Amino acid sequence: MVPKTRLVELSHLLYPGKEQYKLELEPQKERDEPEGIFYEVRLWSHVGTHVEYALHFMPDGQEVSTLPLWRVVGPAVRVDFRDKGTSEPMTLEEFKARADIQPGDIVLTWTGRDDLYRTPKSHDRPYVTKDAAVWLADDRKIAALGTDSSGFEVRGGPDKDPNHYKFFDREDPIPIFECMANLGELQHDRCFLIALPWLVEGLDASPLRIVAIEGQTEEDNEAAIELLSSLFSLRKDPADE
């Protein structure tokens, strides 16, 4: 039987001219009657909900169009860190205690800060500790790391973004999803995630439309994740990496 499922939007709606990073729209021409028209779109690669990849930090790093689909489509787990304040650590022990993170999962840190998006406090956030980043990358071999805040480093900290280097300075880089939305709308901590970037050569980052698919009951949810993981047979076995 096909499980009953629901879709959850995990991306921010973007408003041209009102975003922190450039997003501008300009019509090809004015019109007052039905006819075809084009819009010129000017934007930064990090506008809104977006994915970052190795080229963002590494001069010779891989760019977004080379990102393997198995890293952005597959089982995901939400980890609740809403109790954390600005610049407080999300530790290795807490990642282990708060969620059953499986090898190859897409891990979503739920900080409850998506309501700060597009405000002066948009960069107020907790951070992932170095040992937690090492464990996620090397032990759990996660597919990707997402957050509903603007990042996962100490903003302006003494170290130079150590987690970015840990995730990006490797043969098979781990992508980062930033500025996600609506993680609180998920009914379950586990879901099936689809987060597709633009297929444009040369980008360090790309806006994302992220959608979660989850079952309406716990049994439906487990069945939906298993079914979708089988249908979307895009994932590599992390043990083979």
Amino acid symbol at 152: F
pTM of the model: 0.93
Q: Say what percent of the chain tops pLDDT 70.
A: 95
Give me the residue spans of the domains in the chain: 5-236
Whole-angstrom distance between the N-terminal and C-terminal Cα of the chain?
34
Residue 77 has pLDDT above 80, yes or no: yes
3-state helix, strand, coil in the chain (%, to 5): 25, 25, 50
Residue corresponding to tokens 């987060």: 195
Question: 100: helix, coil or strand?
Answer: coil
Q: Are 21 and 136 in contact, with CB atoms under 8 Å apart?
A: no
162 versus 147: the higher-pLDDT residue is 147
Q: Are 205 and 46 in contact, with CB atoms under 8 Å apart?
A: yes
Average pLDDT in the 81-103 region? 97
Average pLDDT in the 214-224 region? 95
Average pLDDT in the 145-173 region? 89
Q: Are 41 and 148 in contact, with CB atoms under 8 Å apart?
A: no
Average pLDDT in the 23-52 region? 95
The CATH classification number of 5-236 equals 3.50.30.50
The whole-angstrom separation of Cα 207 and Cα 56 is: 14
Amino acid symbol at 30: E
**pLDDT at residue 155 in the model:** 77
